[in-house]
Structures are given as structure tokens and as C-alpha cells.
Amino acid sequence: VLKLKTGKMLGELQFAINAAFVLVALLGNAVISCTGDSLTFHYLPPSIQQDPLCGQSLKKQDIMDLFSLMLGYSPEHASSTDGFKFLNPFALPRSIVVFELSGISPYSVTDCLYPVSGLHNVEHLKNELVNEMKVDGGDYLFLDVNPNENEVDVKSAFEDLPSLSGDANALFLQEIAYLKKMSSKLNPEEFPETPRDGVIWISLKGYNNIVVHYGSESTEARQAKILFQSTLKDVADSLKRLYGDNVAVTILNNNVKLRRVGRTLMQMATAADNTTDWNIAVPVYDDYPIIFNIILWTSLILVISIIAIAYAIGDMDPGRDSIIYRMTNQKMKKDA
């Protein structure tokens, strides 16, 4: 009887452990679906309007095409511009400013939030933007700004912030101080000539530290969000004055770190699955079907042409009265 009870208890304990793993995996999946990557347009010039029914999902290539079209390039795919109306092609943004936020909760100052899928590496997206600018041949500038690598006096930018005085907030305060200093420098007096057109990419990671340390619904997180929103508005206003409203300000929420944790939890819950039996297709390039058809039909036409020419030459009658033999006979008579 004691052995039966012990075995029953062990079975119930094993079932509880497995259920806990599945629950953790489901919670991780729910957090990922709610806090995935997203793109928000904080400001767009009057020449570009968003669809009122905005919010369609975007891929990495869609962001590339959309940014390219805003700068005056020709995009590869027209589907990425379905939610945007370009009213005046002669008043496109001269510069696109991207604020990359590394946080576990989407940040949006407008109602139009576009979920982004397939954005596993932001650096790859930056490199593709740089390469496209080089291919186009225009005099465009790509400026990658990292406030963490610049020494900024935080105390000179803030006088009294009792709720944001811990060590976890040092990075966020340094980034906000850098943005305030940047906003004060972006004025027509500092730049007699308008800066070159291009993309300004600003990476911000301090907001993530506050949300992770205090929680997304904490007083510190709400105060940091208000502070960032006001600072972002100051920077956007300075850029609008500098570029004459011909600037687009976007916010890119990047949650790659959280996605990796969620994937690890899912692997723990389904460790018994054999991924080699899934028969997943190898990812291919977007233009692969076009290139494949061109090579296939060109090779087929070439082979058929060679066979037809060889058959025609092999079936040719030597005694046939043709221009070829008449020319040959005249040459032979002349030589004789």
C-alpha cells in the first residue's frame, strides 16, 4: 500500500511539473504576441497621409520599401505602401529619424501602431538601408547615433527627479540628457545650411532597464514614458524647424531579447519534439522564381535551337539548288 501511494504521489508531482512548464511556455508565448516588434510614425510631413484604418502587419522588407519611397527611391514591392498616401511627390521627407526603443512593452504616442514581423536583426536592416543608398547613387547620409557612447552631464539636464534617481535609471537619464542637448543644437543658427538628406538612427536602451527593473505599470515607468514623450516632441519640433517640416519621425520597438527568452521556454516545454522531422523548406530569395524561370526557358530554347539547326544541317541535300551551292560553284569555276 505504501508503494502504491508513493508511486501515485510521484505521478501527480510529475504531472504538476509538466503542467507548470506548459503554462510557463504559454505565458511566454502570450507576452511575445502582445509585446512584439512594432513601428509608429510620430510625425509625417503634410505630403504623406496614413490610412485611418492603419495597423496592418509589416515585414522587414516592407519597412525598407517604405523608407526608400519616402526618400524618393523606387521600392521593390508596392504592397508596403498600401496604408500610405503620397499627395505631393515633390515634397517628400528630406530626412527620416528613427528612434529605436529596446523595451518589453510597445511604446506608441499615436493610435497607428504597425506590428513588425521578421525583424530578427536590426543591424541587418541598417546595413540594407546603407547599401540601397549607395546603389541609388544619391548624396544621402546615414547617421547611426548611440547616446550610450557619448559622455553627457546628466545633472545639468535635470534638477529634481526624485523617482528616477536609482542606478537602473542612469542609462535612461543619460539618453534623455543627450536628446535634450541634441534638441538644443538642432536649430537654423547652428546650421546655416540645411544638413544633407538621409536617415538618422538613434538607439535607446534605457527605457527597457526601467520597465524590467520596476515593471511596466510602475510609477517610475509612467514617469519615464512621459519624460521620453516630451523630449521626443522637443527633438521632433527642432527637426521640423531645421528641415522645414520635410522630416519623418518614427519609433521602432525592438524586443529581440524577450523573444529569445520565450523561445527557450518553448523549447523546454517541447524538448521531446524532433525538429528534424518537420520537413521545413529552406528559405529562398524573393526573386528566386523569376531567376529560375529565366534560366529554365532560356536553356530550353537554346537546346531546341541547337537540335533544330543540327537536324537541318544533317538533312540538307547536297544537290539542292540553293544560294549556298551556287556561290560555291561560282567560286570553284573561277578558281578553275
pLDDT at 33 over 80: no
pLDDT at 303 over 90: yes
Hey, which residues does 141 pair with through a beta bridge?
198
Eight-class DSSP state of 81: G
Which span out of 41-50, 80-89, 159-168, 300-309 was modeled with the highest average pLDDT? 300-309
> How many domains are contained in the chain?
1
- Residue 302 domain flag: no
pLDDT for 322: 62
Mean of per-residue pLDDT scores for the chain: 70
Domain with 71, as residue range(s), is 36-254
- Residue 76 domain flag: yes
pLDDT at 181 over 70: yes
Judging by DSSP bridges, how do beta strands 141-145 and 58-59 pair with one another?
A: unpaired
pLDDT for 295: 96
- Residue 24 domain flag: no
Prediction pTM value? 0.59
pLDDT digits (tens, 9 = 90+) for 69-116: 888 777 666 555 677 888 888 888 888 888 888 765 555 556 678 888
Those residues with Cβ within 8 angstroms of residue 134's Cβ, 6 or more apart along the chain or in another chain: none
- Residue 127 domain flag: yes
pLDDT for 294: 96
- Residue 153 domain flag: yes
**Higher-confidence position of 47 and 254:** 47
pLDDT for 272: 47
pLDDT at 19 over 70: no
Q: What is the dihedral sign for C-alpha 131, 134, 138, 142?
A: positive
- Residue by residue, DSSP assigns 129-198 as HHHHHHHHT---EEEEE-GGGS---STTT-S--GGG-SGGGHHHHHHHHHHHHHHHH-STTT-SSPPPSE
- Residue 330 domain flag: no
- Residue 279 domain flag: no
pLDDT at 175 over 70: yes
Question: What's the whole-number mean pLDDT along residues 113-140?
Answer: 72
pLDDT at 273 over 90: no
- Residue 29 domain flag: no
